Structure 1
Amino acid sequence: MKLLKLTGFIFFLFFLTESLTLPTQPRDIENFNSTQKFIEDNIEYITIIAFAQYVQEATFEEMEKLVKDMVEYKDRCMADKTLPECSKLPNNVLQEKICAMEGLPQKHNFSHCCSKVDAQRRLCFFYNKKSDVGFLPPFPTLDPEEKCQAYESNRESLLNHFLYEVARRNPFVFAPTLLTVAVHFEEVAKSCCEEQNKVNCLQTRSKVMNHICSKQDSISSKIKECCEKKIPERGQCIINSNKDDRPKDLSLREGKFTDSENVCQERDADPDTFFAKFTFEYSRRHPDLSIPELLRIVQIYKDLLRNCCNTENPPGCYRYAEDKFNETTEKSLKMVQQECKHFQNLGKDGLKYHYLIRLTKIAPQLSTEELVSLGEKMVTAFTTCCTLSEEFACVDNLADLVFGELCGVNENRTINPAVDHCCKTNFAFRRPCFESLKADKTYVPPPFSQDLFTFHADMCQSQNEELQRKTDRFLVNLVKLKHELTDEELQSLFTNFANVVDKCCKAESPEVCFNEESPKIGN
């Protein structure tokens, strides 16, 4: 089995998204071929992820049967793409095959989804996912020797088990993100199993946590409860624990990096160690800063020294480093404050519509579902963070993860040149790069279709969540169609849509009302 080659590793499995999102309307078809190729190359892994996320209670053996069936389907279609079954969207095929597994829908209580078709069935499977996975057994663990024996004897089986267990516990994580985790898992297994001391290698991302807990009194006052947990849960708990307060006797700046006459010589002697020490000292003095902001500071310091150490008077040049650090932090802080002000002024729904417009303008080539999902995640970041005392670090960390996921998609299929540029820029400056992007000028909107502005009485019967999803999809498709309009003009059209829905759902005959009012929305 060929594992997808992805660079980098997305560390936290945080946000909500539907896996295996594929184009469902003509305006999303532009990336269809590249998406198809991605699926064909990774059909086994994608099937594992999708099945484990849709039917979390399913056994590994049940999953293996579906994988075999999907591989056979792929082989048939690769041999003859004219077969009627090969014209279907892969996600529809997958769900049809899940529903066709004898007794499975009844056994795992999703037969109500199997009575639906196409988009309605996809939504049903999506809403059937359970974020609270307390019903699943603890994550299975092997000791290092057993893990390496399993890897050496049957690499595919070990990776499949790992992906299955991770996916069913993270039902809303985007498939490429989980594939990245699998790549990282394999890299660690392959590297450590070749070491003479396998145990030591595999128990190191464990030794660190044990060391932290053995020194918890001097390291942090906020990890006591984490250190009382078992090893599998301990690491994640420590990672997610609140930041410790800065020691009262620790100055805000470490003079040896800006005041010493020998900074350039120390850097040249051992650059990696020198910048690692700088990162450590600056980070512990500024626990209020986000990870991306700290990385920006490090990069600014590197660039500053590269220039200063080539001048006649290096100390006189890098003496003003703190001013540069404060300048970039102030810039990042203002950006977050402005975003949180947006949240306070617009409210949760208003902010979501703002980001749906913005994300669709910078990446209109994405499918409607992908854009809706990214917009939801961005709003989750602000609703989670903008009321916290650590507002800046929280927003900067979580919003950067949304752009990280966007770049994960871009790595598999290039979205457009501007997005590609931001994704390839220095990680620390990725978010500022995205924030500065304007509407993609290379995008050619799809032909006008009145279908987008045609609504029916069933709009009024939609439940709150379903109605919200339809509303979000309408806004994204509106932006794709009328890409040249300003944000204000798009908001006006969207307001017209909301008013029509409100008016017609209160009318005596909603269908008649929609027939009369819907055509006016796009004018």
Structure 2
Amino acid sequence: MKWATFISCLFLLSFAESKSLSRKIRDAGVEATASRFATSPLTEFDSLALAWFSQYVQLATFEEVEKLVNGVVARSTNCTTYGLPDPRCTDSLHASFLNELCHAQDFVAKYRLTECCAKADPERDYCFIAHKNATPGYIPTYQEPDVEDLCRPSRNVIIAQYIYETARRYPDTSIPTILIAIHEFQKVIPNCCQDADKSSCFHEKDAAVTKKFEEHNFLQQYNCLILKKNGRKEFKDFKIAQLSQKHPQAQYIIVDTLAEVITLGHEECCRGALFQCFQKQVDFANFVCVHNDTTSTKVVECLSYYERESPRAELLPTDEEFMDNRESCQHYSENRTAYLAKFLYEYARRHPEFSIQLLLWVDEKYEALLEQCCKTEDAPVCLAQLDEQVNKHIAENLEAIKPYCIIEKRGDYNFQNLYVIFMCFHIVNKSLC
């Protein structure tokens, strides 16, 4: 798989980690620098290192960051090409990068990071993360490169500066998100350089790339907000419902594995451990693309699988297994979390028309019914209430939303005004409305 395509796959896949994956995948952070570097094209390794150092020391100059990149590349080259007996060759890439950073004592002193280098891992990493500043305006406005310079054959330095400038302004954004944005920008260069109006072409194409980048960056922040506000269990349930709807053909063990992987990956990314986050995405992409036959029956390549919905087979109703089954209470008491996750998976793959929020509501109601019904003599009859409760809930919500639908038909302006009032009264301080 080409590296650019592979990065695109990472970008689409989101995040990954799982108990059922091999120790190599679960413990990606302890893999040797040499083995990691050996599997990455030199220019892409440069880009990865450049983005990482730019995020960790945002105020450093491009020349300073470039020097750090050259240092870590040289060491990795020695490990892979010459097999030098250097104990540092067994360091993980993350530790190797941190070591390179702390080795430049005058550099870390200049940017007041000496205290971080005095700590042992993982506290050393946490210290660097704590110094990141994503406040808008913390880094001066980026002056876009001259169009003619972009069209010269020797534009690699400009692209490198583009990575540097982007990464230091987005210190909490995952590295694959940044690299794919750079890749998308590079794709427009040949066409725009042949355009009669190069400036307008670059302005238009760059705006589209930036918009896509900001959307994915927002999505990452949104996922972190859900994780922080609702906790990992609800976040994982959210992902189980998403995956089950999108790929109803996938087996439960695969869906549960991927949901767990995505959850753990987001935990790494959301706490600011972006390199570990990147490593998990790399290993997850490898795992999924190698084992794609276990997730879909008609997968030609990794990207095509994740960009389209799997075919939906005829699925039997969930009643027989979860409502009419007298063993439901026993299964629930034995492992509540796993049983409810299995119910959510089965219910979601049968209801692609339901929102994720509604599916989570159904899962919650089913749990409440289990608590109630398993204390009765005839649990199946009691559990049969679920369908009635779901239908009632949907009808009530449809009735409640009718007035909004009428206003929406009167135009976007009226609907937006109503929505502003709604948000004001229900979310913001009512006294301000």
TM-score of the two chains, using structure 2 as the length reference? 0.50
> Which protein has greater RCO, CA pairs closer than 8 Å, 6+ apart?
2
